[in-house]
A and B are shown apart, each in its own frame.
Chain A
Amino acid sequence: MARKLNMRKRYELLTRGLGWEPTYQPREKVFSNETYEGIKITDWSKWEDPFRLTVDAYWKYQAEKDKKLYAVMDSFAQNNAHLNVADASYVNALKLFIQGVTPLEYAAHRNFARLARQFGGEGAQIACQMQSIDELRHAQTQIHTISHYNKHFNGLHDPFHMFDRVWYLSVPKSYFDDASSAGPFEFITSVSFAFEYLLTNLLFVPFMSGAAYNGDMATVTFGFSAQSDESRHMTLGLEIIKFLLEQHEDNVPIVQGWIDKHFWRAYRVLALVSMMQDYMLPESPMSWKEAWEIYFVENAGALFNDLGRYGLRMPRHHEVATAEAEHLSHQVFGIFYNYTHAAALNLGLPGEKKMDWLSEKYPNTFDKYYRPRYEMWAQMAKEGKRFYNGGLPQLCQVCQVPMAFTEIGKGDPMQFSYRVSEYNGEKFHTCSDGCKDIFDHEPEKYVHAWLPVHQILQGNCGGATIPDVLNWYHFQPEDSGEYAGSADEIRWKAMHGKAAESTQDAA
């Protein structure tokens, strides 16, 4: 019997010599997307995936991951384990996750399939094929896991429909559409490097650890199962950057521009995650700021140190993002509190224990800027005047977040941050220098943004009243509004009443 080949050899056989030089059509027609972004590739054979995973090993391990995950999901359902989460308010984090993140996984699946077709090198093709399949697996396993919660809680019933229409979901959607409508090299720089390598740890690691902390073993399992693929994807992100930079010096300024742009785009999407982490987990193992320090400041600092030899520097405005870490989750929560009546989530003000935790984690900002606001809102609610904002907010033309962020980068957190650009005689508003730079670089792209508030005002969203719009979003009336007294809370209490009774019966 032949001796088993070593890993290097096995990977080489998989990724070299499988491609061929086309003869019926010129190569530039076969790989028609490869040159128009200005990227120069001189030798695809220099591509090397650091994880030398062959197809047979890939299937074996992915099958094993799914087997483990489905065993947990089965036992979760069989044991009614949704009863064991810390509190039903926790499920709101899952609502935001399936509405805003799962559709991104599906979009990533489609885009990596496109990359696998459009890249001219076999090594890159195979890495992108595997990632395409991974992303589909993530979308499926998330839908499958969360479908159990959909039997018992509101707001989880139609995430893909919501993703295409709802105001706060246009934040992740517009980011991903931005990347998807770019060329293949910009897409992979955006998603694999700026999003996955630089920032995805912030989404999956502390949040999933938070799920563990709050007793949600099904979510921990799909989250960590997805993240186990993610470590491969992040490595791909780093590899593609190094590959592009090594191929030609002309690639350096192009790649730097994409890193600047997509770091800021992806960071603005993660504003939603900051709220999930600090406000939607009843028990939070780590604050947004702590996670930012560990997974961005330290990690990206080391990374760009490493990449400095290729002429890359840290993404523009990273220092603003770091300064904002003290404020971000509170400002986003403030936006959602204003518009809870128009979100498929049930949010409430943090309780005393949570406020104390926030004071401890945000000693420079929480008591000074945010606690007094919540105390005022609590007082208003007590007097029967729970504040809901009846107006529609101005949205940033680029990130599409309502323009409620403040001038933290300039040291003035009490001043709203607005920027304005002119293009073809019209004014366009952005929320920050980061978003304004992006707009000004490609105004012809961003003037086409589908801004949910503009669309509502133009009459394209089901009607002129909030109930009309919510109906067009496929929201049910009980999906929205304050958590206290919500259908979810009532059902949660009833479940526990019943669970207690049946335990007594059994005894």
Chain B
Amino acid sequence: MSDNKVFMIFQDTADARPFIEALTQENPAANVVHQPGMVRFEALGKLGITREVVEELAGREIDLQEMHLTLISLSGNVDEDDDYFRITRH
């Protein structure tokens, strides 16, 4: 059993796409689970995205706080700044 699992869940919508793709790209060890209407990312210890990657994928400037529009849930300790968003658990 995993005792430091973290997760993030996004709506499965076009607005969430750059975030979902950035999570996939930047967290290759994460387990990605598709369920009706949503996508869940699970990982041990850490999940994170950087603004640069999300912007590249979206093809425009992004404020990472835009993720509030499509983020459904998360578990872990949040560490957030202009250029990155991470959740961790030790």
Chain B binds chain A? yes
The answer to whether A209 and B69 touch (CB under 8 A), given A235-B74, A298-B5, is no
Could you name 20 residue pairs across A and B whose Cβ atoms are closer than 8 Å? Answer: A6-B81, A8-B81, A50-B78, A51-B78, A53-B65, A57-B63, A61-B66, A209-B36, A209-B38, A224-B11, A228-B68, A228-B70, A230-B73, A231-B71, A232-B68, A285-B36, A298-B1, A301-B3, A303-B89, A306-B90
A52 to B4, CA, bound (A): 24
Q: Which B residues lie within 8 Å of A81 (CB)?
A: none
Task: Collect the chain B residues with CB atoms within 8 Å of residue A303's CB.
Answer: 75, 89
Assuming the A-B contacts A212-B36, A302-B89, A305-B4, are A231 and B73 also in contact, with contact meaning beta carbons closer than 8 angstroms in the complex? yes
Asked if A7 contacts B69 (CB within 8 A), the reply is no
Q: Which residues of B contact A220 (CB under 8 A)?
A: 37
Q: A298-B5, A302-B89 are in contact. Are A7 and B77 (CB under 8 A)?
A: no
CB distance from A193 to the nearest CB of B (A): 13
A209 to B68, CA, bound (A): 18
Q: B82–A299 contact, CB under 8 A?
A: no
> Contact check: which of A53, A227, A235 meets B72 at CB < 8 Å?
A227
In the complex, whether B56 has a CB less than 8 A from a CB of chain A is no
Give a binary string over A51-82; 1 marks a CB under 8 Å from any B CB, 0 the rest: 11100010001001100100000000000000
Interface residues of B in 10-54 (CB under 8 A from A): 11, 35-38
CA distance A52 to B74 in the complex (A): 16
CB of A378 within 8 Å of the partner chain: no
Given the contacts A50-B80, A51-B80, A212-B36, A302 and B73 also touching, CB distance less than 8 Å: no
A8 to B79, CA, bound (A): 11
Seed contacts A204-B73, A228-B71; 7 additional CB < 8 Å A-B pairs: A228-B11, A228-B69, A301-B3, A302-B5, A302-B89, A305-B89, A306-B89
The answer on a CB contact under 8 Å between B37 and A209 is: yes
Among A57, A286, A298, the residue within 8 A (CB) of B65 is: A57
Q: What residue of chain A has the Cβ atom nearest to residue B68's Cβ? A: A61
Residues of B within 8 A of A (CB): 1-7, 9, 11, 35-38, 63, 65-66, 68-75, 77-82, 89-90
Within 8 Å CB of A306, what residues of B?
4, 77, 89-90
A-B pair number, CB within 8 angstroms: 100
Q: Which residues of A contact B82 (CB under 8 A)?
A: 6-7
| Cβ contacts A1-37/B at 8 Å (1 or 0 each) | 0000011100000000000000000000000000000
- Roughly how many angstroms separate A53 CA and B5 CA in the complex, as a whole number? 25
Separation of A209 and B34 alpha carbons in the complex (Å) = 10
Chain A residues positioned under 8 Å from B77 (CB to CB): 50, 238, 306
Cβ-neighbour of A299 out of B37, B63, B72, B75 (below 8 A): B75
CB neighbours of A301 from chain B (8 A) = 1, 3
**Complex: how many Å from CA A238 to CA B72?**
17
Q: Which of A51, A53, A299 contacts B7 (CB 8 A)?
A: A299
Asked whether A205 and B73 contact (CB < 8 A) given A302-B5, A306-B89, the answer is yes
Residues of B contacting A120 in the complex (Cβ-Cβ under 8 angstroms): none
Contact across chains for B69 and A235 when beta carbons are under 8 A apart: no
**B75 neighbours in A (Cβ, 8 Å):** 234, 299, 302-303
Interface residues of A in 157-216 (CB under 8 A from B): 201, 204-205, 208-213
Q: Which residue of A lies closest to B44 (CB)?
A: A302
Would B72 and A231 count as touching, CB distance under 8 A? yes
Q: B66 to nearest A CB, angstroms? A: 7
Interface size class of A (residues with CB under 8 A): 35 or more
B7 to chain A minimum Cβ distance, whole angstroms, is 7
Q: Which of B36, B69, B90 contacts A65 (CB 8 A)?
A: B69
Between A205, A210, A302, the greatest number of chain B beta carbons within 10 A of the residue's beta carbon is seen for A302
Which chain A residues border B89 with CB–CB below 8 Å?
302-303, 305-306
Q: For residue B36, which residues in chain A have a CB less than 8 angstroms away from its CB? A: 209-210, 212-213, 285
Residue of B nearest to A298 (CB): B5
Residues of B within 8 A of A51 (CB): 78, 80
Q: Mark A270-300, 1 if CB is under 8 A from B, else 0.
A: 0000000000000001100000000000110
Give CA–CA (A228, B70) in the complex, Å: 6
B15 vs chain A, min Cβ distance (A): 8
Residues in chain B near residue A210, CB distance under 8 A: 36
Tell me the complex Cα distance, A90–B66, Å: 33
Q: Are B5 and A285 in contact (CB under 8 A)?
A: no
Complex CA gap A68/B71 in Å reads: 14
Let me know if B72 and A205 touch, CB within 8 A: yes
Report if A7-B80 is in contact (Cβ < 8 Å); known contacts: A57-B65, A209-B38, A285-B36.
Answer: yes
Closest-CB distance, A85 to chain B (whole angstroms)? 13
- Report whether A52 and B3 are in contact in the complex, using a CB–CB cutoff of 8 Å: no
Bound complex: CA A468 to CA B37 (Å): 43
Q: Nearest 9 CB-CB pairs, A to B?
A: A212-B37, A50-B78, A212-B36, A213-B36, A227-B72, A305-B3, A61-B68, A209-B36, A7-B82
Cα–Cα, bound, A189→B1 (Å): 27
| Cβ B73 vs Cβ A234 within 8 A | yes
Set of chain A residues within 8 Å of B73, measured between Cβ atoms: 201, 204-205, 227, 230-231, 234
Task: Name the residue among B1, B3, B68 with the largest chain A CB count within 10 angstroms.
Answer: B68
Q: Which residues of B are found within 8 Å of A211, using beta-carbon distances?
A: 37
In Å, the complex CA distance between A211 and B37 comes to 9
A47 to B89 Cα, complex, angstroms = 20
Inter-chain contacts of A7 with B (CB < 8 A): 80-82
